[in-house]
Amino acid sequence: MRVAAAQARSPWLDAAAGAAKVMDFLQRAAADNVDLVAFPETFLSGYPFWVEQTDGARFDDPDQKRAYAAYLDAAVELDGPELRMIVEAVRDLKVFTYLGITERVRGTVYCTLAAISPADAIVSAHRKLMPTHEERLVWGIGDGHGLRTHQVGGLAVGGLICWENWMPLARHALYAQGEDLHVSVWPGSSRLTGDITRFIALEGRVYSLAAGALFSYADIPTDFPFHDQLAERASRYDGGSAIAGPDGQWIAPPVSGEERLVTADIDPAAVRAERHNFDPTGHYARADVLRLHIDRRRLDTAEFID
């Protein structure tokens, strides 16, 4: 089975152009016989880079409100035209896809990881359980509905978003479903992926694939409220996509600064071999002492009964 991280620059706050970029990388993946490809966190339509740099917590600031409105307008819906086009491409190209999106639900944006199957379209939409630090000023808090694994090429595959990969119980929820390949998606930085990618591989005895994006503040549209304040800043977002084996060794070390597919051929037998001496939710677990309760209901603020 061949897997890949799509390390690329996405047109920021331009959903149509971002979807076209996804389509381009899906075609590249199919041409390279890739079975599964992962795109970075909020690849469509962009990470909220401005908040940290512009005093984003200032209450009732008109520029911050206009920035959020622009971000909300650029977000996509699960049944919107961009996702419909991508679902069709996944079906035609037969490449299972994890895609980080900014998901719009009424007046709220969620940081969501959509799993798209060639046979069954969107099979899960995992909303980030807890946005990190300044992200809480922009994204809603997710739920456990997307804590699911999917069968791809004989492997159970699951995914988490950015720093929730550091949440032990979130990882455990996927390991407990027999996860063989763990996908982590990031805004894009080798300083973020260098440690956790190998740690997850060792802890779960899984293949661990990290997908990160490239970004320059020069990519911010000129009509965005903080364009002039941000355009000249140096970006730390250099990609960092990487793949580690279930023994914790690099198959593809973090890649910096290059726009390309980061690929690897993986073997389910290697996962089974590494579980000889450690299986965190199997023979090395103590269900009589430690157990995890997982609520996978999709949470909403209203229930209508007619």
The predicted-structure confidence for 63-94, as pLDDT tens digits, reads as follows 999 999 999 999 999 999 999 999 999 999 99
Residue 292's alpha-carbon distances to 141, 168, 196, 278, 282, in angstroms, are 20, 11, 22, 19, 13
Catalytic, 164? Answer no
Average pLDDT of the residues in 226-235: 86
Query: Active-site residue among 41, 103, 135, 274?
Result: 41
Q: Please report which confidence band the pLDDT of residue 217 belongs to, taking 50, 70 and 90 as the band edges.
A: confident
Query: Active-site residue among 82, 103, 128, 274?
Result: 128
Catalytic, 128? Answer yes
Beta strand spans in 106-138 (E): 108-117, 121-127
Structure confidence at residue 70 (pLDDT): 97
Q: Please report which confidence band the pLDDT of residue 209 belongs to, taking 50, 70 and 90 as the band edges.
A: very high
Residue 10: DSSP 8-state? P
Structure confidence at residue 98 (pLDDT): 98
Structure confidence at residue 233 (pLDDT): 82
Structure confidence at residue 234 (pLDDT): 78
Does 185 score more than 90 pLDDT? yes
Average pLDDT of the residues in 235-261: 96
Average pLDDT of the residues in 208-227: 93
Structure confidence at residue 301 (pLDDT): 87
Q: Which residues contact 259 (CB under 8 A, 6 or more apart)?
A: 7, 8, 9, 214
Query: Active-site residue among 162, 164, 179, 274?
Result: 162
Structure confidence at residue 270 (pLDDT): 96
- Alpha carbon distance 82, 19 (integer Å): 6
DSSP 238-249: BEEEEEE-TTS-
DSSP 224-290: STTHHHHTTSPP--BEEEEEE-TTS-EEEEEEES--EEEEEE--HHHHHHHTTT--TTTTT--TTT-
Buried b (16+ CB within 10 A) or exposed e, 10-43: bbbbbbeebbebbbebbebbbeeebbbbbbbbbb
Average confidence score pLDDT of the chain: 96
Average pLDDT of the residues in 16-36: 98
Catalytic, 65? Answer no
Does 204 score more than 90 pLDDT? yes
pLDDT tens across 129-151, in order? 999 999 999 999 999 999 999 99
3-state secondary structure (DSSP) of residue 35? coil
Q: Which helix (H) or strand (E) holds 291?
A: none
Q: Please report which confidence band the pLDDT of residue 283 belongs to, taking 50, 70 and 90 as the band edges.
A: very high
Q: What is the CATH number of domain 2-274?
A: 3.60.110.10
- Alpha carbon distance 47, 131 (integer Å): 12
Average pLDDT of the residues in 199-210: 98
